[in-house]
Structure 1
Amino acid sequence: MQPTLEQGQVKKGHPKGLYLLFMTEMWERFSYYGMRALLILYLTNATTSHLGGRGWTDGNAGMLYGWFTGLVYLTPIIGGWLADNYIGQRKAITIGGILMMLGQFSLFSEISDMTFYLGLGLLIIGNGFFKANISTIVGKLYDEGDARRDSAFTIFYMGINTGAFIAPLVCGYLGATYGYRYGFLAAGIGMLLGQVMFNTLAQTYLGNIGKFVGKTAEEKAAPKTKLTKQETDRVAVILVLTVFVIFFWAGFEQAGSSLSLYTERYIDRVVFGWEIPTSWFQSVNPLFIVALAPIISTLWINLAAKGKNPNTTIKMALGMMLLGLGFFLMVGAVMERGGDSQDVAIKANIWWLVGAYFLHTLGELCLSPVGLSMVTKLAPVAYASMLMGVWMLSSFVANIMGGYIVQYVEQLGALTIFGGIGAFVIVLGFVLLAVSKKLTYMMHGRG
């Protein structure tokens, strides 16, 4: 069984395997976010455009975008279960990577509607094998009670966002210059590079972690009985927090849909006489992540060493409030234009958008990597990957909700929707603070 660190003991540095997982995740996120930055623009672009497009309405495009980005967070439950019980995390990551690479190449082929939907389907299935399992391996690098775990997931999150930063710049440039299909091609090549790296170096830097089902010492020691009261409480905490973060992600994921369309039409994107491509704004959030993650990671470690590290629920409540404040800045952008005018000649200042992304990023850093770490700490060993998939259910529901929100932006106006989202998630943040002590108690020393 994994050793438990003494109270207050904090190790320094991180295992080398963390940085291999960082790079693997970086290329996978390059693939996903490169494609995602182009998807809604591709769907709404005219079919006669030299760049390619499907000529869909905002509402229909938002719905497809929402269902696609939602389903990529549903399938990790299945992929996590298969990894826990049959194939192990390492094989699951390889299977998922290959399927996602083929999905991007299918989108690039642009042969027919069938290859378009086939590409989306392969990306959804492949992500199911990949996403929960690589996060689970990160958690397995650390002993129970290791205070570096939150920091490790913040560093891992830098890998996610390094790829997410580069992807819209590269894929967005290719898509806006040569055609959207070439952006999809670049995304597929990125996925290929990540898989070559992972399968070449995994044995050296990970050993047998995640390679076999039930082969680690902790897995062998885990009793084959029903869950204890403490384990049941911890699972309940995962489920409760999953419900809360649904609303965080429903707002946050507007970045790729309603915020992207608002940026395209109503934000002044001209800087020094040059108009910034809309897809490039998908790099603003990950750029802030890469810049701020080391600071936040160091902050958690320093606070832990002093015995002042906020518990998981407090960090997540703060994250929700920061998201709400970001949407209030977008309300400022709408009001600068005089309200919900559809006159595209009236533009809002770009700094409203940049400020919103900055606050959203701080909120994400307080919530998402901490949430991933929380699942690896609370989940019973035998259900680790499956419960990571359950955690990602929040994003499944949230993205589908987000697709409907795009339709309501058309009907109710950006002022109402942006303001409503902001107020609602801030209220939920205060509710989470109110139940923080109870949830922390139910974590039984792992909060």
Structure 2
Amino acid sequence: MSSINKQKIVDSVPQKGFFGHPKGLFTLFFTEFWERFSYYGMRAILVYYMYYEVSKGGLGIDEGTALAIVSIYGSLVYMSGIIGGWLADRIFGTSRAVFYGGILIMLGHIVLAIPGSLAMFFVSMVLIVLGTGLLKPNVSSVVGEMYAENDDRRDAGFSIFYMGINAGAFLSPLIVGTVGMKYSFHLGFGIAAIGMLLGLIVFVATKKKNLGLAGTIPANPLSPSDRKSVFTKMGLAAVILAAIIVIASTTGTLTIEGFINLVAVLGFVIPALYFIFMYRSPKTTSTERSRLIAYIPLFIAAVMFWAIQEQGSTILASYADKRTQLDFAGIHISPAWFQSLNPLFIIMLAPVFAWMWVKLGKRQPSIPQKFALGLLFAGLSFLVILLPAYFGGEDALVSPLWLVLSYFIVVLGELCLSPVGLSATTKLAPAAFSAQTMSLWFLASAAAQALNAQLVRFYSAETEMAYFGVIGVVSLALGFILFALAPKIQGLMKGVR
């Protein structure tokens, strides 16, 4: 997309109207609020639905397998952003991608809400994976399109947008988690479907007035002659893939274990190929190539950070269910409620961080330094969880306050890394690959969860201290290395701060 088109889009968006930010931020804030409500509500009860016995309304899957499947599912959700980003950049623009994605997500939750077999569960996962791949990277790209390249409000705007994400993520485990754990998993999934419907209504009702041209112009559209060829190849690839799955399933060669290992490999191979493709593209300028090189250590740091943060829905969810004293201060705590802690702390602290970055202005830490801080806090959050086992033994139930403290510390790191990473991605992205570079940012989460699918196999009551200790120390070490490399990385960014 040319700089002329970018400015044309910015000029079409009402620039004042939502906390001093473009009016379209209201539309995207509440669209993402409801999408995250549906996603995190579903995720709050998903691992329990999988490993709880059939007599308790679950699927009765082995717990270790369930933890790995949830990680792989999370990896595929973000991996599918490649498809969503490509379709938005080349065919129909980010706005329509958001709408189509919301429809698929809603259908996936509806399928989960219908009591059925394991096959129905996997159908719902496919719908949600594809839908989130269309919606998630593209709604963030639309946020970036509303701001001029040198607009100082951009980082603060992404922080406000990030609050919308986390407001939905805070409420959903309390509502969906309570209903799902106390009454019926399927009723909880039904509430998640309603949440996505509300998000679609907000988006459709307000986008024309608030978003202007943002999201409507593909960054690198296909020519009419190329479209027919591309659609033919996509259809053929879909047929071949379906045939391979059917044959592999009937012959017994497609196993859950094999699929987990395949996704784990793809989680790292795909982003590597993506970097190479964009770097070598003739549409990428020399300045943009330098910025892509600078993006690589940030990407690796993000993988390490999300590998720890995303275990809140797997290892820490199991820890809350089986290792935590749930009767506390006169109330019985649902294990699903702990997944509201992360977004709750973000809601509380995001305005503080947004104010702090604006107040510091040019004196604030550089982008690489903020990423390094994120890694240091992530490592500390895992080291903290070592302490109750060290003092109380591996068999005793621990106070829920330890989990609260761990979630709090990792949030400090998340606010240093995640909204800054979203903003940095829009700044460092090659012009011809704007939405696809945002997909690359979400591939860091895909790689992290692909890694987690392997890591969770090493977790048990006997290995608990070693598990948290080793991962925590590795994160701290990477954080210090990134601090040391920060000046060099900043130079490769060619003026981006």
Q: What TM-score do you get using the length of structure 2 for normalisation?
A: 0.83
Partner SS state of residue 93, structure 2: helix
Q: How far is the alpha carbon of 1:208 from its aligned partner?
A: 1.2
Amino acid at match of 1:54: L
Q: What is the distance in 2 between the residues matched to 1:323 and 1:270?
A: 28
Q: How far is the alpha carbon of 1:332 from its aligned partner?
A: 0.8
For 2:490, the equivalent position in structure 1 comes to: 440
Structure 2: stretches of 5+ with no match in the other structure = 8-15, 222-280
2:375 to 315, 320, 329: 320
Q: How far is the alpha carbon of 1:238 from its aligned partner?
A: 2.2
For 2:41, the equivalent position in structure 1 comes to: 34
Q: How far is the alpha carbon of 1:272 from its aligned partner?
A: 2.5
1:86 to 65, 87, 91: 91
For 1:251, the equivalent position in structure 2 comes to: 308
For 1:192, the equivalent position in structure 2 comes to: 197
For 1:116, the equivalent position in structure 2 comes to: 121
Amino acid at match of 2:28: L
Q: Does residue 385 of the first structure (1) align with residue 390 of the second (2)?
A: no
Q: What is the distance in 2 between the residues matched to 1:239 and 1:192?
A: 37
Q: Does residue 17 of the first structure (1) align with residue 72 of the second (2)?
A: no
8 Å CA contact 1:238–1:391 kept in 2: the answer is no
For 1:130, the equivalent position in structure 2 comes to: 135
Q: What is the distance in 1 between the residues matched to 2:32 and 2:406?
A: 26
Go from structure 1 to structure 2 and tell me whether the alpha carbon gap of 1:61 and 1:214 turns closer, same or farther (over 3 Å shift): closer
After superposition, residues 162-181 of structure 1 pair within 5 angstroms as: 162-181=167-186
Structure 1: stretches of 5+ with no match in the other structure = 4-10, 217-223
1:265 to 311, 316, 322: 322
Q: What is the distance in 2 between the residues matched to 1:235 and 1:214?
A: 18
8 Å CA contact 1:59–1:407 kept in 2: the answer is yes
After superposition, residues 215-364 of structure 1 pair within 5 angstroms as: 226-304=283-361, 307-338=362-393, 340-341=394-395, 346-364=396-414
Amino acid at match of 1:256: S
Aligned length: 424
Amino acid at match of 1:18: L
Amino acid at match of 1:378: L
8 Å CA contact 1:336–1:348 kept in 2: the answer is no
8 Å CA contact 2:24–2:210 kept in 1: the answer is yes
2:66 to 61, 64, 71: 61
Amino acid at match of 1:274: I
Q: What is the distance in 2 between the residues matched to 1:371 and 1:365?
A: 10
Q: What is the distance in 1 between the residues matched to 2:388 and 2:128?
A: 35
Q: What is the distance in 1 between the residues matched to 2:62 and 2:220?
A: 51
Amino acid at match of 1:105: I
For 2:258, the equivalent position in structure 1 comes to: none
Q: What TM-score do you get using the length of structure 1 for normalisation?
A: 0.92
Deviates more, 1:397-406 or 1:77-86: 397-406
1:416 to 466, 481, 487: 466
After superposition, give the CA deviation of every residue in 1:19-48 in whole Å (9 maximum; x if it has no partner): 211111010000110011111111110111
Q: How far is the alpha carbon of 1:158 from its aligned partner?
A: 0.5
Q: What is the distance in 1 between the residues matched to 2:124 and 2:455?
A: 25
Deviates more, 1:354-363 or 1:235-244: 235-244
Partner SS state of residue 20, structure 1: helix
Q: What is the distance in 1 between the residues matched to 2:76 and 2:115?
A: 22
Identity %: 41
For 1:209, the equivalent position in structure 2 comes to: 214
Q: What is the distance in 2 between the residues matched to 1:405 and 1:275?
A: 31
Report the aligned-residue RMSD: 1.7
Q: How far is the alpha carbon of 1:229 from its aligned partner?
A: 1.4
Q: How far is the alpha carbon of 1:411 from its aligned partner?
A: 7.5
Q: How far is the alpha carbon of 1:215 from its aligned partner?
A: 9.8
Go from structure 1 to structure 2 and tell me whether the alpha carbon gap of 1:150 and 1:37 turns closer, same or farther (over 3 Å shift): same
Amino acid at match of 1:408: F
Q: How far is the alpha carbon of 1:244 from its aligned partner?
A: 2.0
- Larger helix share, 1 or 2: 2
After superposition, give the CA deviation of every residue in 1:79-99 in whole Å (9 maximum; x if it has no partner): 101101101000000000000
Amino acid at match of 1:108: A
For 1:220, the equivalent position in structure 2 comes to: none
Q: How far is the alpha carbon of 1:398 from its aligned partner?
A: 0.7
Q: What is the distance in 2 between the residues matched to 1:255 and 1:334?
A: 18
For 1:219, the equivalent position in structure 2 comes to: none
8 Å CA contact 2:33–2:168 kept in 1: the answer is yes
